[in-house]
Structure 1
Amino acid sequence: MLERLIIDAISIFTGPGAKKPGAAPSKGNAPSKGNVPAKPKEKVWTKQDDSARTIQTKYRQFRAKKILEKKKKEKLDYEELMNKLEHEAFLKLVQMEQEQAEKDRKKEEEERKRKAEERKRRKRMLEAAFDGDNEEMLQIIKEVKELDDKNNIGNDVIGKNLRDRHLLAIVECEDANENTPISEAANGGNADTIKLLLDRGANPNTQGQFKRTPLYRAAFAGHLEACQMLLQNGADPRIYANDGQNPEQVASLAAVIQLLKEWDISQTEVLLEKLETEKEKRLEEVKQRRAAEESILEKQLEISQQEYDVMQKQLNHAYCELEKRISEHDNAVAEGFNRPEILVLAIQDAETEVEILKMNTEKSRDKLSQAKLRLREQQKGGDDGQEPDDLPGLKVMVKELDEVLFRDVGNKIKDSGKWPLIIDRTGQAATFLRYRDTNCVNALSPKQMEDDKVRLALLGAVRFGKPFILDMMEVDMFDTVSDRFDNILKGLMGMIMDKSIMQEENYLKLIKESDGPDYQKNQFNDYRTSSFKFFIITKNPYPPESLMDNTYPIRIYVPTAR
């Protein structure tokens, strides 16, 4: 309302009816043709003008105040929205963490439950064996089979062997004294139970805590039928326990002593050979299972490697495109292009593409790493609980690089005959080396990878005995860089890798007449060129094996607080 009144007041003083300064005279007062036109009158400032100015000033103040209030409100609304979004994001994050914690808790609970059930089954199996409760034992074996069905374990080569392992694990489970069900059955004198276990692969010569065999325990307890069953299925009466006695010496029944004395040991030899054959057969089945599993894992690894290689190429291309956009922007600004914001948008798009591809490459790398880990565990016997070997490479901290790289304490690098490959996901090594007296080129920068710049950087490193550093960042660029180096001099990367670049006849091939007096032949001397070094840096934790084989891997690690 106030704004409307102000506008109306202004219109009164400045509207069509108001006298305007410098207005043309009316038609009736127009000068005649022959007369000289009258000089326009000067503007006389009136009270109306003062009032109009005052009103306009107040109006502008009022309008500015309204705009300021609007801006403040917009700012408050924006801050409120940001606070709301931050709060929602925090709640979502908390919710996600709670859900993850709940999943972990359920997983741990299920694992505890599984282990508790497994312990309970083992206890039931051992007690049933001692009591001779064959029905209970068969029920337990059935439960193991049903559990395999529930876990979707197949009946192919891998599945069958896995099922056999689970069955054998329950048949040969142990108590706290390392006694197995067949040992408990022997101690309880249950010959039919012993037979049931033997038919399912139980070892008749298993030894418990005091190296007492099932035959030892059956003889000690005076169970004749149990001793007969064991002897007829390969139990060896010659095995001594920790007390220095064999089954015959501890037998508590005359009939058992007589049985053991009269037993034809040659039968035992035959039975043991048969058991050994069966054992070898089981081992062969295990090998077949492992081979089948390795074949599957190798196929998965091959697919993961292909996916990773594709992502690496895409990331490499995206980096090159980003460098091009940056170069285009810099050149355009230098030439006076009046709309650089268009090129800035192109750079931002390229940066976004790089970040997306970096995330996808990281996911692909993790997938590849997991595939490699599973294959290593399989090849190293991961099913037997063995831990895989550590990743190859000498582990050092950044602060130790001076001793390791430049001074080569212990001559480890020199004795290897290879140049170092520095594997550093943190990027700290690259920063450290840039601030040393080194010539560094970024493999992902088209500017730095121009033929002349690389040639001069390498030639300068040889001339002054400095390290020449190739920073490949996250991308596997070694083969690409090798091809680029061939443009400078055929086989140049090979000369660098085998250190023949330090020979005079090779580094002189890099010199051009336009290089100036500092790079003339007489400026090079053996003392300096012998100090030349070549370092490769990568953020990729799993470089290609071919590169690892041809270099001395060094892994940078950051110690964590304990």
Structure 2
Amino acid sequence: MPPKEADDKAPAVKPAAPRAAASPSRARPGAAAPKPATGAAKPAVTTTGAAAKPTLKPASSSAPSTATAMKSSGATKPAAGASKVPSASSTSSVSKGSTAKPVAKGSTAAPTAKKAGTPAPAAKKKAAAVDAAASATTEAASPPTVPAEDSPEVLARKAEQELKLAEELEALRKAAWAAQLEFERKQEAKRHAAREEEARRKKEEAALRKKLLEAAYDGEDEEVRKGIARAKEAGMLKPDPVDTADGHGNTLLSEAAAGGVESTVAMLLEMGADPNSRGEFKRTPLWRAAFLGKAEVVPLLLEGGADPRIGNEGGELPDHVAAEPIKGVLKDWDVAKTDALLQKFEAIRLERAAAASAERAYAVKGAEASVTACEEAHNKAQLALKHARMELEKRIFEYDTCVEEKKPDSLTQAALDQVHVAEKVVDEARARAAEASHALDESRLRLREEVEQVAADEGGADAALPGIPVPIKALNDVLIRDVGGKLAASSKWPLVVDTSGQASVFLRYQDTNYVNALNARHMEPHTLRRSLLGAIRYGKAMVLDLQDCDLWPEMPRMFDQVQQGLLGKVLDRSLLKNEAFASLIRAEDGEEYDINKFQDIRIRSFVFIVLTSARRPNKDLVEAMYTLRVMVAV
């Protein structure tokens, strides 16, 4: 049975539309229909819908001749015995625009194939003509098209956009890194300036103290008066410049008494100087005046409250060391007057102490209020930074969407401009957050200093214990971050005295190399060496926990098992200079501890912390370290 005419040549399948054409929201306004990809089958007929079937149309006047159609379609010669068909010459003689209908000689019936399976030449010619006509019509009617998604120009444009975006992101990363480095540089410059200012202040204070002591001894009253006024104005020589003393405890009044200057002694007593201060060898101003034979100032001292019953550290009284004229003055003096003067002086002292305590409490409250305000500002700045970053992420997403969906260039550029605006907002928010964080650190430092002063003034029994009081909550600022640079300025490693054990827990949870001095495995030479070397390599703290035992005398020997004199090199920091730590590197440490992988910035971040829970640590340890005493509740 011969095949049906419709099956002679199946209609070509219409190519799938690209993503931009398939989605109206993603196509550019006014864009032409997409052109089929090269090599794809052209549609045989025009369709009105996805499910429309092709409809055969008669050849138009523009269609090629049947013979041409046959040649182009590759029609085969009819088989022997089949009905005759017109020759090419007879076909060409058909008038233009007419339809050629081949018929058998002497018959009007349509020709059919005699053999089953042999296609009808007329049907093939007709189908070929219709296909050619439909293709020509479709090509003529097709409007200009945009390139397909996988065309070279589209891929090139996409690659160019991706390259541009990558360059912009790289520029942003470099700018952010440069900004971070600049911020750290400024912070380090501030800390350096603060350390220099503190050193300058201490130097100026030491010079002023020396000048006042010399002026008091020489009787230069005007210089003494100006120096005291200057010290009060600048907040130096606390708590009271009038009682300024040298390294041995000898005050201005004691120096004036030793110099025998009546006017200076009288002036200082009038200013409220302590007449019974005890300096070197526990000698009072009266004792020094009696010993040096300064008879002219002895009555002034007695009238000012000096007690003749106070001896030196050997128990010798002023009367024992005085010359005869002075002995007579001391024996004739009524000590009842001294008791009355001492009561008066004690009342004045208590009044001053109460005023100082009130002032200190007011300062603490002010510092607490400042911390609260700075914390609020810090939280607001962090929230603003968070919102700015979220907005930046949204703008970046919008820009990426425009690029991926091939939005118009004007829309893509507008999205990119919004990204740049959001980046500027983030930079400003980041700067404000950094300033707020720095202000918070400064306010916490001031509060800590005020609390330390209160603890020193009102410490009672604990006041005699070694160490600067530090709240447990401030350990991170003091030990790890060194806010204020006090740890760096001391040139000593910190000793943390904590009887509660909370500091040990805190330090274990930090990124530190923790060494328990009572643990034999921790103190094994190889482990101890790697703990120290690893802390230097990665710029973190090594914590040596002595527990509540006096193990410090044993530590040099333990460190000597690693390297002779190692503990001393750690304490004086010589191990960190000129790559001296390289002597600790062993072949078995591997590539991780190659000397070239030790960075200066990490080496400078290394901290050696000694921790003890003993209430009164070893005296040599306290002297060798920058001692901090943890306050659990403040």
TM-score, structure 1 normalization: 0.46
Which of the pair has more CA radius of gyration? 2
Q: Which has the higher helix share?
A: 1
